[in-house]
Structure 1
Amino acid sequence: MLFDLTDLRLFIHIAESGSLTRAAERMHLSLGAASNRVKELESRFGMRLLYRENKGVQLSPAGEALLIHAQQFMQQLERMKSDMQQFSSGIKGHIRIFANTTAVTEFMPQVLGSFLARHPQVNVALEERLNADIVRGVAEGTADIGIAAGPVQGQGLEIINFSTDRLVLVTPREHALAGSGRIAFADTLAYAHVGLHEGSSLWHFLSRIVSQSGQRLELRIRVRSFEAMCLMIEADVGIGILPQSAALRHSQTMGLALVELDDPWAVRERSIVVQSLDALPHYARELVEEIRAGQAPRAISPDRNA
């Protein structure tokens, strides 16, 4: 074997501290023993992993690559330990899901509420991620199931389209744009917007659209949830782009108007991403089917724009 767990932990500590001495201390190794371990690693891989300098050490390009794999390996090991501990306490299954903002906040709570009630011995970890991170997580095995919106590409992955995700403009009821039947996103940029936080998949998507158009979006305020966006819009802080499902739900209790966007990208395919559907445990396959069955496109009712 090219390395053991002590080698990997030592290498990670070296990268984090930039010092072989401090890394050796954290591992309770002598400096000589730590140095020998690194030299043996370099000998086994047949390449230099560290550049030793007066002020410490720097990773070589090969060392940078090894660090990424070492961190992923140790993270996977910790997850394995956690899973095994859960089994000992009665948990018989665990599903990790990476999903976009809309999935996390709009339909997965209902889906998981029903699913987990029927499967009390299954645990689910649901994390909000950007599309690229969702696909990467499934490809690398850090997520069992991914839920993304828009174009998804993943070589060797199964991509299952299960519904559409329509983005709409949301305004106060008395706003100048509230009576518009349909509107182009570019025509909304003359007004101040309310947006989601920078880490959200929706904000990342809209930022790319604005950047590609060469225009500028005036962002009045950034908030953490669709509900907060709608409250700000109702208070006339600005207008905003939201998923239709969230906009319809909050328009039932707030003074909001919904306007369809005329841009082709406003209607996006929702996709479930897995390495192999057949390879998933039976309870994970059941969850995928429940997600697929529970989603259907909805139209904007005419009275929502009144």
Structure 2
Amino acid sequence: MHIDFVTLQLFATVAEQGNMAKAAETRNIVPSAVSKRISDLEHALRVPLLHRKSRGVELTAAGEVAYKYARNILRLVERFEGEMSEFSEGDKGRVRIAACPSSITQFLPQNLAGYIDANPLVKVDLVEEVTDVILRMVRDGLADIGVTSGLVEAAELEVTPYRQDRLAVLAPLSHPIAVFDSVSFEETLRYRQVGLQQGSSIQRLLVRKAEELGRSINFSVSVMGFDGVRKMVEAGLGITILPKGSIEANVDPERFKIINLKDEWASRTLELVVREQKSLPLVARHLLEHLAQAEEKHG
């Protein structure tokens, strides 16, 4: 049995149009040729696919099944042609990323720049969110790729390690804790602190670790975003704990001290999360691979 691609196209068009003449016009072929190809297909399959009527055609029960398979084959060929063209022309399309602040202030700008420079036809829609929202966006199909803090379990999602970061203390040089190069988290609980907004994975982590010690954190104020936290520290409202990489390039060493946290849990692995890698558009899959390789180079 030999069934060619053109015949499948014609059969699908006839099934959708319900009329051989209209299908012939759509496919720019004479009606007699359409009729001949459909008859040959029925002969090859040894079953009638159409009920031929005076005003058109209708699918038989076998024709309904054949049409379903024909459409699947045609879609697969279209996807095959599209993905092959992307290999020859370079990636193109749009990728939606939802990312946590830690990734945006430390790693993503450079990693995305390298990819977009090599693939200028790719457009990236990047939104900054807390990890809980990111996971929900990926699950709901509102983001192709999520970049999370790794502190919240990504149930039912596929997870790939991205980059390592470490939490550190930021304090004014005049603060008593600034005499130390490294401290334990427990030692920071003696002092007033500036926190992040409710829902921040860092905030939740710190509160939980304090509770494990039977202690609480004396937050003077909680604000949204790392820049706001730094400004509050600058104003003398307390010390803070943030990813070290997000504060190193943005503080004056003559006015502030960055102090390492000794605790093992202060080292975190940021994660890339997707619903299912094999179901991602090719351009999103390539960007995911690019970001994952960035982890390998810096890990």
Alignment of 1:213-228 (within 5 A): 213-228=213-228
Match of 2:96 in 1: 96
Match of 1:265 in 2: 265
1:123 deviates by 3.1
Match of 1:251 in 2: 251
How many angstroms apart in 2 are the aligned matches of 1:179 and 1:161? 35
How many residue pairs were aligned?
A: 208
Match of 1:153 in 2: 153
How many angstroms apart in 2 are the aligned matches of 1:220 and 1:192? 6
- The Cα offsets for residues 145-196 of structure 1, whole Å up to 9 and x where unpaired, read as 1111234534543211132121011111232112223212121111111222
Residue type of the alignment partner of 2:126? L
Q: 1:125 is paired with a residue of what secondary structure?
A: strand
Shift of the 226–254 alpha-carbon distance from structure 1 to 2, 3 Å rule, reads farther
How many angstroms apart in 2 are the aligned matches of 1:297 and 1:256? 27
Task: Name the stretch that deviates more: 222-231 or 174-183.
Answer: 222-231
Shift of the 155–194 alpha-carbon distance from structure 1 to 2, 3 Å rule, reads closer
Match of 1:196 in 2: 196
Q: 2:220 is paired with a residue of what secondary structure?
A: strand
How many angstroms apart in 1 are the aligned matches of 2:274 and 2:171? 37
Alignment TM-score, normalising by the size of structure 1? 0.58
How many angstroms apart in 1 are the aligned matches of 2:224 and 2:164? 23
Mapped contact 1:149–1:165 kept (Cα < 8 A): no
1:257 deviates by 1.0
Match of 1:232 in 2: 232
1:267 deviates by 0.8
Mapped contact 1:100–1:201 kept (Cα < 8 A): no
- The Cα offsets for residues 217-269 of structure 1, whole Å up to 9 and x where unpaired, read as 22223333323322332343310001010121123566221111122221111
Alignment of 1:54-93 (within 5 A): 93=93
Residue type of the alignment partner of 2:218? E
Shift of the 124–204 alpha-carbon distance from structure 1 to 2, 3 Å rule, reads farther
How many angstroms apart in 1 are the aligned matches of 2:179 and 2:290? 37
How many angstroms apart in 2 are the aligned matches of 1:105 and 1:247? 9
Runs of 4+ in 1 over 6 A off after TM superposition: none
Q: Is 1:127 aligned to 2:127, yes or no?
A: yes
How many angstroms apart in 1 are the aligned matches of 2:179 and 2:122? 48
Match of 1:182 in 2: 182
Match of 1:4 in 2: none
Unaligned runs of 5+ in 1: 1-91, 299-306
How many angstroms apart in 2 are the aligned matches of 1:287 and 1:204? 30
How many angstroms apart in 1 are the aligned matches of 2:298 and 2:189? 27
Over the aligned positions, Cα root-mean-square deviation in angstroms equals: 2.9
How many angstroms apart in 1 are the aligned matches of 2:104 and 2:209? 22
Match of 1:207 in 2: 207
Residue type of the alignment partner of 1:164? Q
How many angstroms apart in 2 are the aligned matches of 1:213 and 1:103? 29
Residue type of the alignment partner of 2:289? E
Residue type of the alignment partner of 2:258? L
Shift of the 136–249 alpha-carbon distance from structure 1 to 2, 3 Å rule, reads same
Residue type of the alignment partner of 2:127? E
Match of 2:143 in 1: 143
How many angstroms apart in 2 are the aligned matches of 1:277 and 1:179? 48
Mapped contact 1:233–1:256 kept (Cα < 8 A): no
Q: 1:171 is paired with a residue of what secondary structure?
A: strand
Shift of the 195–254 alpha-carbon distance from structure 1 to 2, 3 Å rule, reads farther
How many angstroms apart in 2 are the aligned matches of 1:267 and 1:169? 13
Larger of the two Rg values belongs to structure: 2
Q: Is 1:280 aligned to 2:256, yes or no?
A: no
1:96 deviates by 1.9
Residue type of the alignment partner of 2:206? L
Alignment TM-score, normalising by the size of structure 2? 0.60
How many angstroms apart in 2 are the aligned matches of 1:200 and 1:154? 16
Match of 1:64 in 2: none
Mapped contact 2:193–2:217 kept (Cα < 8 A): yes
Match of 1:105 in 2: 105
Q: Is 1:172 aligned to 2:176, yes or no?
A: no
